[in-house]
Amino acid sequence: MSSNKFCEILIVGAGTSGSVVATRLAQAGFNVTLIEAGPDFGPQKENRWPSEIVDDKFVGEETDFDWGYTAKLGSKEIRYLRGKIVGGSSAINASGINWGLKNDYDEWKKLGLTNWDFDSMLPFFKKVENLKDRNYSDISRGTSGELQVSRQKAEGAYFKSFIETCKNRGYNFIDATGPDSSEGYGFVTRNSVNGKREHPSKVYLDQVRGLKNFSIIANCEVIRIIWKNKKAQAVEALHNNKRIVINTDHLILCSGSVGSPTLLQRSGIGPYELLKELDFLTSESKIIDGVGKNLQDHFGIRFSYLPSKYGMQNIDWGQSESMRIRLKEKSEDVGHNLTLSSFVGSHIKNNEELASHANRIQFVTWLVKPISVGYLKIASTNYQIDPVINFQFNNEQDIESLLFALKFAKKFISEEPIKKWIDQSSGLQNIANKKDIINWINDNLSYYYHMVGTCRMGNELDDGSVVNERGLVHGFDNMYIFDASIMPQIPRGMLNLTVFTIAEKMAKHFIEKY
């Protein structure tokens, strides 16, 4: 093993969070080394990036740039995609841009995170987001940030009927991906422009590539953190199949909701019972009970209907169009707990499951405020063995909520004027037979790759927490986590924008401290 490098700041993971943090720290003058297990294709202007990363219609199923994990969801074991490339999961994701609701972040404050309510985060959301073609009177959205965001088209005649049907029900037109409104219908927003993904390497890392104080080590997988007492001293990594050790002053994990807890556990930092079970407990182990626990994701179901004859003739299948309804199951709830999106056309490709819905009118319903909480734990200290990911989706209330959404969808598409577009007999059936539909939900349930919470933030008195409000791992002086894993609770919307925002905010705190 060769010990060949010393760093001031070592960041592990070049996904959404790692790209932002590395860029900001390098711009502030720190000497930054960014390690990434997957490949790097360099500056965007060199045009070396694979088309599947550049094209916003691609979602990661058929890619080589994935870790190949599986996860348990109810009685099933299915793939759990995670990007393994500079750009991370953001390089292979569906490019949806959503804020959580204001209330989601205010709840973080109620958990004791005084510096993480909506108002404290708002300037950072705005620093990230640059929403083009705004149609909202809403003032929360960012319009001058660095990440370009555009509204998905919904101009065809099918969506005119979709909108009319919403209006007939008394729904308001809202910013359906923003932080302010909970119920109503509106547009979907994406971090892509003219069909091209705005991924973190292009938007962030290209700003610092070439600086003397910044370097990327790609194809380099960290397998263990070497630490003593309160200090992370180095990482042991495999670089192009060669074991290396890299020493550092400060270690920042941006390895994502799977990568960060896995690395901690493999380095002897985790729950007592897990370290004991693996015969990995020593007098020097660091017991942090929350590592890998509190795993949360959004769950949902995709279903589709054949178009009616009228629909077949009048939908422009070459377009990529979508709209969304935010639904509140219980009127007394503060925010919506479900969304129902409708898609027509070629919005996503390269995916076997989605191909089965091609040329159909598609719907996705999402449970955005689930109750089920799962866990991640390493099965072995051997880095070649994948961690166990179990969503423990077994909460009856969660299943009832999905049932509510399916019943809503079935009723909605039978109303005027949307009904003329859809062959009502071709999609969801037997909705009245609860047993059948619950079985169907369990068979068709999926998660949306929005995992958070596996290294959650909290103060030192908060037993289940792993890092403090500044991302510092409890019990350490120089090891931080700044990625999606630190969210204490999942926001009601896709996550990437919140991850960019957390990374901007954490980078600022770090720069102020050092």
Q: Which residues contact ligand FAD (rule: CB under 6 A)?
A: 12-18, 35-38, 59-60, 81-84, 88-90, 92-96, 221-222, 254-257, 259, 263, 449-450, 483-484, 494-496, 499
Nearer to ligand FAD, 91 or 288 (CB): 91
CB of 289 to ligand FAD, least distance (A): 22
Nearer to ligand FAD, 20 or 437 (CB): 20
- Beta strands 32-35 and 214-217 are parallel
Which of the 8 DSSP states describes residue 478? S
Q: Where would I find the H helices in 130-224?
A: 157-168, 200-203
Q: Tokens at residue 23, please?
A: 């860029």
Residue 474: phi and psi, rounded to 5, are -55, 135
Nearer to ligand FAD, 62 or 119 (CB): 62
Decide: helix, strand or coil at residue 311: helix
Residue 513 is inside which H or E element, if any?
helix 496-513
Decide: helix, strand or coil at residue 467: strand
CB of 38 to ligand FAD, least distance (A): 5
Q: Round to whole Å and give the CA distance between 271 and 268.
A: 9
Nearer to ligand FAD, 83 or 458 (CB): 83
Of 392, 412, 236, 422, residue with least CA distance to 324: 412
Nearer to ligand FAD, 14 or 413 (CB): 14
Q: Round to whole Å and give the CA distance between 302 and 141.
A: 28
- Structure-derived torsion over alpha carbons of residues 7, 268, 485, 329, reported in degrees to the nearest 10: 180
For residue 255, the Cα-to-chain-centroid distance in whole angstroms is: 13
Task: Please give the C-alpha separations between residue 78 and each of 71, 358, 449, in angstroms, as whole numbers.
Answer: 5, 22, 12
CB of 393 to ligand FAD, least distance (A): 18
Q: Which residue is closest to ligand FAD by CB?
A: 15
CB of 344 to ligand FAD, least distance (A): 18
CB of 472 to ligand FAD, least distance (A): 17
Nearer to ligand FAD, 258 or 399 (CB): 258
Nearer to ligand FAD, 167 or 243 (CB): 243
CB of 90 to ligand FAD, least distance (A): 4
Nearer to ligand FAD, 296 or 304 (CB): 296
Q: Tokens at residue 186, please?
A: 């509106």
- Beta strands 231-239 and 375-377 are unpaired
CB of 387 to ligand FAD, least distance (A): 11
Nearer to ligand FAD, 377 or 450 (CB): 450
Q: Round to whole Å and give the CA distance between 374 and 377.
A: 10
- With beta carbons less than 8 A apart as the criterion, state whether 326 and 367 touch: no
Tokens 């350490």 correspond to 476
Cα Rg of the chain, angstroms: 23
CB of 129 to ligand FAD, least distance (A): 12
Q: Round to whole Å and give the CA distance between 380 and 277.
A: 10
CB of 27 to ligand FAD, least distance (A): 18
- Bridge partners (DSSP) of residue 238 are 221, 243
Nearer to ligand FAD, 182 or 267 (CB): 267
CB of 318 to ligand FAD, least distance (A): 22
Q: Tokens at residue 126, please?
A: 């705005």
CB of 236 to ligand FAD, least distance (A): 10
- With beta carbons less than 8 A apart as the criterion, state whether 337 and 104 touch: no
Q: Round to whole Å and give the CA distance between 297 and 375.
A: 11
Task: Please give the C-alpha separations between residue 49 and each of 40, 110, 240, 297, 421, in angstroms, as whole numbers.
Answer: 9, 43, 20, 29, 39
Nearer to ligand FAD, 16 or 33 (CB): 16
